[in-house]
Amino acid sequence: MTLTLLLDLDDTLLNTNLQAFVPAYFQALSSELAAHVAPEMMLRALVNGTRMMNESDDFSRTLKTVFDAEFYPQLNISPNELQSAIENFYDNIFPNLAGLTSKISEAKPFVDWAISKGYRIAIATDPLLPTKATHHRLRWAGFDPRQFELVSTYECFHFSKTHPAYYAEVLGRMGWPEGPVLMVGNDLERDIIPAKTLGLAAFHIDVESASSFGPEAGPRGNLADLRLWLESVDLSSLMPSFKSIESILSLVTATPAALNGLLHGLDSAAWSHKTAHDDWSLTELICHLRDTEREIHHMQIDLFKEQNEPFIPRPDTSVWASQRDYLKEDGALALKEFNDARRETVNLLKNIAMEDWERRARHAIFGPTNFLEVISFFADHDRMHIQQAWAALRKM
């Protein structure tokens, strides 16, 4: 049973006094760009851009896109005019901030041990910084970024860690692992509570004794305590459980985000490539998701609106790829259309009254059910096809 570890960075793998580091970082960037923009204007734009990233729940826009749309108009300057100066900052100035951080002595031994155990490891740091900055910070902590299967950064992620959907996006980008998952971090509000809201197990990193347990945090201690805990815990107890309304909403919101990240920048050959004769290409897979969303999922939601205890049909969609000749479609366009269809689904679900999530129905395949379970089937369907897309990409 392979464990997937989601590891926070700041004050989990790297000592970072964020109250000192963030102002110093913002000040250094505004000073470096002072020839182009007044520092006070730069600081205001940085703060507003960061706020917009934290608030964004748009799965079709990366956090960089969200930031840029807020940041550059406030400066009345185009991104191209600052690109060279910003690249120079992250290459040559940002590394000077290393002195505001320090290594955590237990971090490298713990990660080395976890790798030796065959655990899959993602750096689940808040994706509010560029890749270059995050990679610098990993090196300050004593790591090579290439050690990790995934590192979340603002160029390719769509939610900050305030959203449970962030954790679903991380897992989606890893191909939705089937086994146990553990989130490890020091911040209750951004690491522990959102992960647990999604349905993940979590370990709270702090300086107190591992025997100290909080009602929200669960097991806690330092990285050495974490290793001892993992050596004794039954990994099957760390299997995710997606049962709550907020969990299901987060899952269906994160699916297009994960697919947008996985499939970004593919050429036409990659979209149409088949790993085996009977497998779907990525274009066929996304067309299937799009049409299922439009014609099946929306229909099922409407049935609950129209009937007291509806019968929920589930037509055979497996024949659509050949019947509708999906292979001749534009995969990137189909992905955009799936985004649009899923946005409609999410908007419909957000307007469902709390009591209506318990409304009963009979499903053509699963028998007696209710609205919450039917929507959970959407998420199960998503995960299966993300796994297929991820596996296809690895074979290319």
288-302: pLDDT as tens digits: 999 999 999 999 999
Q: Is 121 left (phi over 0), alpha (psi -120 to 50) or beta?
A: beta
pTM given for the model: 0.95
Q: Which residues of the chain have pLDDT under 70?
A: 207-217
CATH superfamily of 1-236: HAD superfamily/HAD-like (3.40.50.1000)
The whole-number pLDDT of residue 210 equals 46
Q: Domain ranges for the chain, please list them.
A: 1-236, 245-394
The whole-number pLDDT of residue 103 equals 97
Contacts 24+ apart (CB under 8 A), 34-40: 35/85, 36/77, 36/81, 36/82, 36/85, 37/75, 37/77, 37/82
Cα 361 to Cα 366: distance, rounded to the nearest angstrom: 10
50-67: pLDDT as tens digits: 999 999 999 999 999 999
The whole-number pLDDT of residue 211 equals 43
Using alpha carbons, select from 239, 203, 238 the residue that is nearest to residue 223. Answer: 203
219-243: pLDDT as tens digits: 999 999 999 999 999 999 999 999 9
CATH fold group of domain 245-394: Four Helix Bundle (Hemerythrin (Met), subunit A) (1.20.120)
The whole-number pLDDT of residue 207 equals 65
Task: Determine what percent of the chain is predicted with pLDDT higher than 90.
Answer: 92
Q: Is 3 left (phi over 0), alpha (psi -120 to 50) or beta?
A: beta
How many Cβ atoms sit within 10 Å of the Cβ of residue 364?
A: 10
The reply to whether 1-236 and 245-394 are identical in fold is no
The whole-number pLDDT of residue 213 equals 47
